[in-house]
Amino acid sequence: MSGVIRTVSVTRRAVVVADGFWRRRTGLIVPALMLVIGLALVVGTVTMRVPDTATSPGPQVFPAIVAALVLIVAVLLAIDVLRKPEAATVEIAQPAAPGDVDDLDLDGEPVERRPTSNHRALLGALGTVVVFIAALTPLGWLLAGAVLFWGIARSLGSQRPVFDIFLALAISSIVQLAFSAGLGLNLPPGILEGIF
């Protein structure tokens, strides 16, 4: 192997990708989902049963802050998508030289490459959340939370699994301390009951 990285010169051309109001604003799906999540957090926070022994500021403060942030970000994101919708045309790269066969289809025509969704990352994140929900009670927050942080990091492309394990354990431990020492609440101990 020579160690030389092959470079490909490209030109760009404009391609019409979509028309109509909603086809150019598919990005509104994300703020819509965030709005639903934020409203669910509000309902959960308002209907939360607060034990009489809970000390100030109480267990409703942190979920209320998160709900407010989610709703604010959803509104700001929606405004941004409405103000700056997807362009009616996008530029795509195509090989400038005829010998650049990697970007040609079987007929020798340039392959149009558009940004696509990262389904692998999305499915990985969703699977991690499902595992976290299922494991929270039996494993407890410390371990289930570490699995959550580790799985999300891997789904988003982290390539350092061992480092991520220690980082995930550190983050879940910090959250555990924040809830127990800061809010006077105990997260589910799971199999570590009696230790934490």
Q: How many angstroms separate the CA atoms of 44 and 111, rounded?
A: 48
H-assigned helices in the chain: 29-46, 61-83, 119-139, 141-155, 161-177
The distance of Cα 182 from the centroid of its chain, to the nearest Å, equals: 27
Q: How many angstroms separate the CA atoms of 34 and 23, rounded?
A: 20
Beta bridge partners, 183, equal none
Beta bridge partners, 93, equal 12
Q: How many angstroms separate the CA atoms of 22 and 97, rounded?
A: 37
Low-confidence ranges of the chain (pLDDT < 50): 1-2
At 156-174, the pLDDT tens digits run 888 898 999 999 999 999 9
86 in Cβ contact with 26 (< 8 Å): yes
Provide the pLDDT for residue 1. Answer: 45
At 1-18, the pLDDT tens digits run 445 555 555 556 555 555
72 in Cβ contact with 37 (< 8 Å): no
